């Protein structure tokens, strides 16, 4: 019956595209997570009343984050072409999509990290200081564990946005389900290919949402 509904779908190609999408998403999620945490910590710690309060450092970080967060993703990819070429050596393929995916998503996640850290009770940080904890200990043993559910739910939202970004990147040659839907589906008027690619993307999104929600619930002991 599936053959009947999707006569033009080449299942091997569809599988290959799915793997490419999963590859781009997972690598960019991992790097975004690390960069976002670092940037978010920097934003939080340099903000007013915090351990490294520093107006200049906060201002500069905030501007960089806001600028990269505001550029529409499709334009960001084009703007980053010279950078990508220098870094990856090519502008075609899954790896070439990674710089744009990460630079587009990390500032977005950094803001969520900052918000998550702000939610931590100030008194808990004060208590850790009163116990003689260093800033590094506070980051490792208070800030990250106490904000973990919010960090994970923020990462879920970011990961889902990244699945969407990979599809956009696909249009300009990055591979993956977006690429397949655009070239094989849209340009050759095979609606069933576009539909199938969409269904698979939806399934990926649902799975990410499910894992994220479950993890957040498990981690939250409040």
Binding positions for another protein, rule: CB under 8 A: 121, 123-124, 126-134, 137, 141-142, 145-146, 148, 219, 221-222
Q: Contact, 184 vs 13, CB < 8 A?
A: yes
DSSP 49: T
Contact between residue 120 and residue 172 where contact means Cβ atoms under 8 Å apart: no
Nearest by Cα to 103 from 160, 59, 165 = 165
Tell me how crowded residue 205 is: count the other CB atoms within 10 A of its CB.
14
Task: Provide the 10 A C-beta neighbour count for residue 140.
Answer: 12
Q: Are 25 and 105 in contact (CB under 8 A)?
A: no
Least spacing, CB of residue 37 vs another protein, in Å: 16
In the complex with another protein, the residue whose CB is nearer, 149 or 212, is 149
Write out the two tokens for 62.
Answer: 């905030």
Residue 179 and residue 171: Cα distance in Å, rounded? 5
Q: How many CB atoms within 10 Å of residue 30?
A: 12
Residue among 76 and 143 whose Cβ is closer to another protein: 143
Identify whether the C-beta of residue 128 lies closer than 8 Å to the C-beta of residue 51.
Answer: no
Q: For another protein, give the closer residue by CB, 95 or 137.
A: 137
Please state the closest distance from residue 40 (CB atom) to another protein, in A.
18
Between 89 and 145, whose beta carbon lies closer to another protein? 145
Report in angstroms how near the CB of residue 133 gets to another protein at its nearest: 5
Q: How far is the CB of 44 from another protein (least distance, A)?
A: 17
What minimum distance in Å lies between the beta carbon of 35 and another protein? 23
Nearest CB to another protein, comparing residues 2 and 222: 222
């Amino acid at each position: 019956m599936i053959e009947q509904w999707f006569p033009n779908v080449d299942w091997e190609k569809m599988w290959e595209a799915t793997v490419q999408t999963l590859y781009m998403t997972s690598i960019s999620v991992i790097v975004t997570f690390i960069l976002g945490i670092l940037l978010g910590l920097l934003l939080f710690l340099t903000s007013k009343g915090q351990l490294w309060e520093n107006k200049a450092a906060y201002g500069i970080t905030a501007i960089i984050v806001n600028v990269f967060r505001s550029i529409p993703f499709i334009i960001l990819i084009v703007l980053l072409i010279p950078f990508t070429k220098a870094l990856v050596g090519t502008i075609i393929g899954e790896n070439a999509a990674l710089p744009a995916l990460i630079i587009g998503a990390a500032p977005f996640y950094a803001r969520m990290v900052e918000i998550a850290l702000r939610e931590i009770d100030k008194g808990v940080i004060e208590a850790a200081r009163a116990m003689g904890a260093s800033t590094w200990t506070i980051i490792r043993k208070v800030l990250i564990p106490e904000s973990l559910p919010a960090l994970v739910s923020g990462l879920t939202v970011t990961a889902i946005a990244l699945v969407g970004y990979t599809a956009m990147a696909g249009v300009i040659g990055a591979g993956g389900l977006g690429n397949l839907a655009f070239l094989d589906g849209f340009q050759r008027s095979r609606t069933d290919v576009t539909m199938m690619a969409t269904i698979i993307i939806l399934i990926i999104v649902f799975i990410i949402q499910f894992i994220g929600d479950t993890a957040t619930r498990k981690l939250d002991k409040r």
